[in-house]
Structure 1
């Protein structure tokens, strides 16, 4: 597991903002992979949502394309 407290912002705002963008993209990719794996193991949207700390509706709205095969 990565320790988020180990990251220190750069003195250069552009570098720090680029890091934020890269981390968001990584987090999105990891989330989609984990949700796809959970769905493949038969997890319900309610269980996935609980694990993500969001409502079932929010999880389904954001990630339901994984079920339909229209991955981004």
Structure 2
């Protein structure tokens, strides 16, 4: 229930911000602001080391279990 309520507040706030931008800047400029915002949202993932990872790191406990299963 908490996740649904949080999602509803997020969408309401985004709609309010979008409507305000539309009123202040005009529809076309507000759409450009939204498009640039969407592109900027991807930057943390593109600049993180996550892209270079081939597989997820394992813990020492997982390696010990795998070694024990092979023996």
TM-score range, shorter chain: 0.3 to 0.5
- Which of structures 1 and 2 has the larger relative contact order (alpha carbons within 8 angstroms, sep 6+)? 1
Give me the TM-score of the superposition, normalised by structure 1: 0.44
Q: Whose Rg is larger?
A: 2
